[in-house]
Structure 1
């Protein structure tokens, strides 16, 4: 039976990516595989230039998530007055200069960034194949004592609790691992469905759930081409909700290990 790590993502602000258009950066409700790849790579102390290592890690990751606390959507409207001599850092690790005539600097630089405020997300992950380096044990050790400060999606999104505090658990698949991980915050209201049951939302790969489940299949842009430095692919993800009684007994976030 394979080993799975359980991550607990809680923060005043979190951002889970999405398809960016112009300067409008959206966020999803649940994390995507490329974001989890970057989180792990940061904990391991990898440099951004180690692109093949990032790519192989993403290719091996099997990830699913559960929305324990939805939080609320937050939109940050950002402006900055930039001059011709101002420079910006890029993902290439080099400062980027500015061009254009004097009139191009009269208006501020404007962008929008979207976040989830006060959310709590439980993530289950494993590696396939498991024996390659880094192993799940290596990742577990790195998340317990990360090489650098971790953030959830964007650098301003610092976690309010350790990302990993629970030992790895054995489960048949990602869905079973998520059901074995206790719900956080039993005092919060859950989504009420037509049958009167309180339910929690899940998102897992198709191979990680049974065929007889009622679910909605979606294509999600969660694959990054780390070598080229762009998002370049989609994965089919199954979205569904399960009654709380099918999940391990809830405990408060403060009582989580």
Structure 2
């Protein structure tokens, strides 16, 4: 059986695929997590943060593979670390994707708020995705939302705006690995453990799931990581 997959191009001057954060350090992975793609699609569909059941159902149905497109001669993505120092005042307000400023409910911080955030630089990732059977949006609904999103989209963090439209068309294949092969691109990739892959590919658990009811990250899935030749 061959499935239809949406083909996404995630590219930006700076973008982030958040990994496991410890204290004030926010790392980035090479590939998007299941929770990050769920949030991206949910934002396009117009879900609100409190719609935990809708987010959870979407993540539970999501099946995807991702491939890094690197310039010739480069075998790994470039990354940069941004050190952020800010003194937060109780009256501070910030921009949101809802089109209205958002205020703070906490008190003023006497000392600076320090954070480190890693970003991928001038990076491009291709994603193939489909939705397993279940309640909620269809793949056509998702494609329409990505073409005309309910709110502005960003790749990982609000400052990471896409360099081009995300939706690139579709792909074909019985598995995520086959759908990645159908793109005709070469590079380092990750896909679900569906019994396919080249010799030398790695199989491991990745912690990239979110419990959208509690709002906390937790849970892992088995993936394969290797080269698409």
TM-score per shorter chain, which class? Answer: 0.7 to 0.9
Cα offsets for 1:183-230 (capped at 9, x unmatched): 3xxxxxxxxxxxxxxx611101111624x6321122211100011001
Cα offsets for 1:57-110 (capped at 9, x unmatched): 000001110111254111000001234x35688xxx9843137xxxx71x3111
**Structure 2: 5+ residue runs without aligned partners?**
71-75, 95-101
- Tell me if 1:151 matches 2:154: yes
- Tell me if 1:207 matches 2:194: yes
- Tell me if 1:136 matches 2:142: no
Q: Indicate the SS of the match to 2:115.
A: strand
Q: Distance in 2 between matches of 1:88 and 1:208?
A: 50
Q: Indicate the SS of the match to 1:6.
A: strand
2:175 match: 173
Cα RMSD after superposing both structures: 2.1
Q: Distance in 2 between matches of 1:200 and 1:170?
A: 18
Q: How do 1:107-118 residues align onto structure 2 when only pairs under 5 Å count? A: 107-118=111-122
Q: Indicate the SS of the match to 2:209.
A: strand
Cα offsets for 1:136-192 (capped at 9, x unmatched): 0110111111111110011000000000032x2331111111111143xxxxxxxxx
2:56 match: 55
- Equivalent of 2:163 in 144, 155, 160: 160
8 Å CA contact 1:144–1:165 kept in 2: the answer is no
**Structure 1: 5+ residue runs without aligned partners?**
184-198, 244-257
* C-alpha spacing 1:147/1:7, structure 2 compared with 1 (3 Å): same
8 Å CA contact 2:81–2:119 kept in 1: the answer is yes
Q: Indicate the SS of the match to 2:9.
A: strand
Question: Which stretches of structure 1, 4 residues or more, deviate above 2 A after TM superposition?
Answer: 85-89, 93-96
Q: Distance in 1 between matches of 2:200 and 2:176?
A: 17
TM-score, scaled to structure 1: 0.78
Q: Distance in 1 between matches of 2:88 and 2:158?
A: 21
Q: Distance in 2 between matches of 1:220 and 1:95?
A: 34
- Equivalent of 1:239 in 217, 225, 228: 225
8 Å CA contact 1:175–1:208 kept in 2: the answer is no
8 Å CA contact 1:24–1:112 kept in 2: the answer is yes
In our comparison, the structure showing a higher alpha carbon Rg is: 1
8 Å CA contact 1:201–1:242 kept in 2: the answer is yes
